[in-house]
Amino acid sequence: MVRRKNTVDPNVIEKSTMEKATALANLQSLMSDIFDDAQKQDANLRADAIKLRDLQMACCLNAPRKIGEPEDIDFEGEDRFLKMVHKMVNLVIKTKKREPTADRVQRFIAGFLQYIQSKDEEAKQKAREKETTTTAATEDVDMEEATQPDIPQSESTKTTQSQNVEEEEEEGEYETVTSRFVESLLRHLFKGFLDSKAIIRTRCCQIIALSISSMGELDEDLYQDLKSHLFESHLDKDANVRAQAVTALCRLQSDNEVNPSDGQTILDKLMWSVRHDPSAEVRRLILFNIDVTQETIPYLVKSIRDPDDTNRRVVYLKPLSDLSNFTILSFEERLQILQWGLNDRAELVRKAALKMFSERWIAHASNNLIEFLERLEATRPAVSPLVEKLLKVFFKDRMDIVNEINFDAVLDEFWNNLSGESALLAKAVIEFLQSQDGLDERLDDILPEVTRHVFNLENYYNLYRAHVNTEDAGMTNYEFVLTQLLDISLCLDYADEVGRRKMFEFLRHVLKSEELLDDHLERVIKIFRMISIDERDFTRSIIEIISDIQEEAEGEEEQFEDGPTKRTRLTETAMAIRANSSSPSLKNSDEEAEEKDGTQEPEKLQPHVQDNLVVQFRCLSICKRMLENSYEPLTDNSSLYGLLNDLIVPAVQNADTLLRQEGLHCLGLCCTLDKRLAQHNITLFITCIKHGHEDLVKKAVRTLGDVLLMYGVDTMVEYLSSPNDVREVFEFGLDHDNTEIQSLTTQALCKLMLFNRFDDNELLRLMVLLYFFPQTEIDEASNTIHQCLAYFFPAYCYSSAAHQKAISNITIPALEELCHVYSDLAADETMTNPKNISDMLADWNDPEKLANARSKQSNFIESDQDSVFQVPGTLAVQALKVILNESEDLRRKTLCHFVLRLRLDKISYQQMKEIRDLIRKIDKKRPIKVMPTRRAFEKIANRFDSILTQEGQQDIQTTLEDEDEEEEPREEVSRTNLRSRKRGRDEDEISEEESEEEEDYEKKDRNDDDNDEEEGDEDEDEDEDEDEEEDEDQEDDEDQESEEEEESDE
**Last-in-domain residue among 349, 364, 379:** 364
Query: Are the beta carbons of 504 and 447 closer than 8 angstroms?
Result: no
Same domain as 112, residue 209: yes
**Last-in-domain residue among 184, 218, 252:** 218
**Last-in-domain residue among 319, 339, 364:** 364
Per-residue model confidence (pLDDT) at position 723: 83
Same domain as 298, residue 185: no
The string of pLDDT tens digits covering residues 18-65 is 888 888 999 999 999 999 999 988 788 899 999 999 999 999 888 888
Same domain as 213, residue 299: no
Per-residue model confidence (pLDDT) at position 861: 43
The string of pLDDT tens digits covering residues 436-495 is 888 888 888 888 889 999 999 999 999 998 887 776 656 778 899 999 999 999 999 898
Same domain as 108, residue 24: yes
Per-residue model confidence (pLDDT) at position 602: 43
Query: Are the beta carbons of 647 and 546 closer than 8 angstroms?
Result: yes
* Torsion angle of the four alpha carbons 1030, 1031, 1032, 1038, in this order, in degrees rounded to the nearest 10: 110
In a domain, 843, yes or no: no
Task: Give me the CATH number covering residue 360.
Answer: 1.25.10.10
DSSP-assigned letters across all residues of 893-956: HHHHHHHHHS--TT--HHHHHHHHHHHHHHHHHS---SHHHHHHHHHHHHHHHHHHTSTT-HHH
- CA–CA distance, 43 with 896 (Å, rounded to integer): 58
Per-residue model confidence (pLDDT) at position 474: 64
In a domain, 874, yes or no: no
Same domain as 660, residue 565: yes
In a domain, 936, yes or no: no
Same domain as 310, residue 201: no
Per-residue model confidence (pLDDT) at position 570: 35
| CA-based end-to-end distance of the chain | 98
Same domain as 187, residue 43: yes
Same domain as 212, residue 298: no
Instruction: Indicate the residue type of 626.
Output: M
Per-residue model confidence (pLDDT) at position 663: 94
DSSP-assigned letters across all residues of 946-1012: HHHTSTT-HHHHHHHHHHHHHTHHHHHHHHHHHHHHHHHS-GGGS-HHHHHHHHHHTGGGHHHHHHH
In a domain, 161, yes or no: no
Same domain as 130, residue 27: yes
In a domain, 214, yes or no: yes
Widest distance between CA atoms in the chain: 142
- CA–CA distance, 1006 with 1004 (Å, rounded to integer): 6
Same domain as 194, residue 101: yes
The low-confidence residues of the chain, meaning pLDDT below 50, are 1-2, 5, 150-172, 562-604, 854-866, 951-952, 967-1050
Per-residue model confidence (pLDDT) at position 408: 61
Same domain as 356, residue 210: no
* pTM score, whole prediction: 0.75
Domain residue limits at 570:
533-673
DSSP-assigned letters across all residues of 747-798: HHHHHHHHTTS---HHHHHHHHHHHH--BS---HHHHHHHHHHHHHHHHHHH
The CA distances from residue 66 to 58, 123, 457, in Å, are 15, 8, 85
Per-residue model confidence (pLDDT) at position 515: 83
- CA–CA distance, 170 with 154 (Å, rounded to integer): 25
Instruction: Indicate the residue type of 83.
Output: K
- CA–CA distance, 122 with 67 (Å, rounded to integer): 10
Query: Are the beta carbons of 617 and 577 closer than 8 angstroms?
Result: yes
Cβ count within 10 A of residue 397: 13
- CA–CA distance, 869 with 862 (Å, rounded to integer): 11
- CA–CA distance, 719 with 935 (Å, rounded to integer): 56
Number of structural domains in the chain: 3
Q: Between helices 100-146 and 45-60, what is the axis angle to 10°?
A: 60
- CA–CA distance, 422 with 405 (Å, rounded to integer): 12
Per-residue b or e along 638-659, where b marks 16 or more CB atoms closer than 10 Å to that residue's CB: eebeebbeebbbebbebbbbbb
- CA–CA distance, 320 with 356 (Å, rounded to integer): 8
Per-residue model confidence (pLDDT) at position 121: 86
In a domain, 279, yes or no: no
Per-residue model confidence (pLDDT) at position 994: 40
- CA–CA distance, 958 with 968 (Å, rounded to integer): 16
- CA–CA distance, 25 with 318 (Å, rounded to integer): 51
In a domain, 319, yes or no: yes
Same domain as 188, residue 78: yes
In a domain, 922, yes or no: no
Backbone angles phi, psi at 66, to 5 degrees: -125, 155
